[in-house]
Structure 1
Amino acid sequence: MTSALQIARSGLDALDQRMKTISNNLANVGTTGFKRDRAAFVSLMYQDDRSPGAASSADTQYATGLGTGTGVRVAGTERIHAQGTLIQTDNALDLAIEGAGFFAVTMPDGTQAFSRDGGFKLSATGEMVTTAGLRLAQPIIIPDGAERITIAPDGTVTAVIAGQAAPVEVGQLQLSRFLNPAGLSPIGDNLYRETAGSGPATAGPAGIAGMGTLRQGALEGSNVSTVQELVDMIETQRAYEINAKVIKAADEMGQYVAQNV
């Protein structure tokens, strides 16, 4: 009975972690550029009482083994970097990435972080910054008096200055991509850190060498499907209830043995 209790307990722990993951996905359904997480389960070691192929007699062998599983655990949470829905905003400084890539920004400590959130603003000096005021790794400064800002799919930024007919090129936005974006470490505020699992960042212009392209006047929404998350939540809840019933049944069986045997 103790073994059954331990197995069911491991199921409760794993399902609790999955429910936390689903809750976080649903909480961020409206977060710009958010990528959903998925909890990955793996079985624990088996206790083998008999191995397949063991001798059952002098001339025969067992076709199957005799083993008991010891439960389950969460191996990790995998981030699904599928494209989110593009939301039209018509704001000149809103940028959505179509395809692979991240915006690289400079943190206060001088290190780089990466984001899919393209809701940029202008600082007091005319520099493009994030909502939190973080600067782009390749600074873009809009000249004073700019009446219209245009950002091409390849990241080229031009501005029409008051009193001038021809637009002026002020810089080019670059993107960064990773061989394994699922290995990036989330640090909050729609930002990720590079890790050994993600590999080093490769920077370059949008639309070249596997980079996605930019769409001005749009933002990438979360890739969370509310319907799918609700289905997963119900499935998790039912599985949790069943594991709780296993614990109750195993406890009752143990009490019966203690009282009657």
Structure 2
Amino acid sequence: MVRSLWTAASGMIGQQGNIDTISNNLANVNTSGYKRQRAEFEDLIYQTVKIAGTPATEDTVVPVPIQMGHGVKLAATQRQFTQGALQNTENFSDIAIAGDGFFRVMLYDGTFAYTRDGSFKVDANGQLVTSQGYKVIPEVILPEGFIPETLAISRDGRITVKIPGLDDPIDVGQIELYRFPNPAGLSAIGENLFKISNASGNPIAGRPGFDGMGQTIHRFLEMSNVSVVREMVNMIVAQRAYEFNSKAIQTSDNMLGTATNLKR
């Protein structure tokens, strides 16, 4: 009975982590480039009461074991890097990735981070930056006096713009994308950014549209890949599982109370 209390308690703790994960997905349903997470579970250690294959009689062996489980724990929060819907913004500095890859940005401490959020801005120096002011790498610096409406970014990342006094557009930069052997191993640090880890592997740079890289779609943003309907269904399932484990604790408590009162 005491075992069942702790087993059911582990189920409640695990489902709380599941609900927390689902809630974070729902909170970020309108976050550009957000990738949903899925809670994954694994069972805990078992107590083996009877080992399968041991002799039962002279001529027979135990066909199946008796193993008493001790519950469950949250094993991982797997990030799902499926494509999000593309939304037309008509903003001259917005870029979406259709396919595999990340943008690279430089943080204030000089280290690199990676993002799927292409809602870029142009700072006072004409440099392409994130909403937090982090520089897009390779650096893209737009010439003084450029005409925003003429900025064009091709699907292979080539950036051109027109400036007053010139008839033809000029090249001002090239967007590069980066992919990883295991993108699910990237470490989220907030602000729609990821950093590499030993699990993700090293970044592989490439030109958009080549060597497995996605394409850059100008004046679009990639929305989150969160499905509100799916998350609400998952929330209901997690809530019911939490309730069932709570009932198991109540039942175990009642049984323990009955056993305690046997002498009365």
2:178 matches 1:176: yes
The 2-side partners of 1:51 and 1:100 are apart by: 48
TM-score by length of 1: 0.99
Tell me the secondary structure at the aligned position of residue 198 of structure 1: coil
| Structure 2 unaligned regions, length at least 5 | none
TM-score by length of 2: 0.97
Tell me the secondary structure at the aligned position of residue 260 of structure 1: coil
- Counting aligned pairs with the same residue, the percent is 44
Equivalent AA in structure 2 for residue 157 of structure 1 = I
1:90 Cα deviation after fit? 1.3
1:258 maps to what in 2? 260
Equivalent AA in structure 2 for residue 75 of structure 1 = A
The 1-side partners of 2:214 and 2:181 are apart by: 14
Q: For 2:159, which of 139, 147, 157 is the aligned residue? A: 157
Equivalent AA in structure 1 for residue 61 of structure 2 = Q
The 2-side partners of 1:67 and 1:58 are apart by: 23
The 2-side partners of 1:149 and 1:35 are apart by: 29
1:260 Cα deviation after fit? 1.1
1:216 maps to what in 2? 218
The 1-side partners of 2:92 and 2:218 are apart by: 6
2:23 maps to what in 1? 23
2:88 matches 1:62: no
The 2-side partners of 1:247 and 1:183 are apart by: 36
1:219 Cα deviation after fit? 0.1
Report matched runs for 1:74-153 at 5 Å. Answer: 74-147=74-147, 148-153=150-155
1:205 Cα deviation after fit? 1.1
Tell me the secondary structure at the aligned position of residue 161 of structure 1: coil
2:227 maps to what in 1? 225
The 2-side partners of 1:241 and 1:136 are apart by: 47
The 2-side partners of 1:237 and 1:190 are apart by: 28
Report matched runs for 1:195-210 at 5 Å. Answer: 195-210=197-212
The 2-side partners of 1:230 and 1:242 are apart by: 18
The 1-side partners of 2:171 and 2:231 are apart by: 44
The 1-side partners of 2:56 and 2:259 are apart by: 32
Equivalent AA in structure 2 for residue 242 of structure 1 = F
The 2-side partners of 1:34 and 1:245 are apart by: 36
| Structure 1 unaligned regions, length at least 5 | none
Equivalent AA in structure 2 for residue 14 of structure 1 = G
1:163 Cα deviation after fit? 2.1
The 2-side partners of 1:137 and 1:97 are apart by: 15
The 1-side partners of 2:92 and 2:207 are apart by: 19
1:253 Cα deviation after fit? 0.2
1:31-51 Cα distance to aligned partner (Å, 9 max, x none): 000000011000011111111
Bigger shift: 161-170 or 179-188?
Answer: 161-170
1:180 Cα deviation after fit? 0.4
- Size of the aligned set, in residue pairs, is 261
Tell me the secondary structure at the aligned position of residue 261 of structure 2: helix
The 1-side partners of 2:235 and 2:118 are apart by: 30
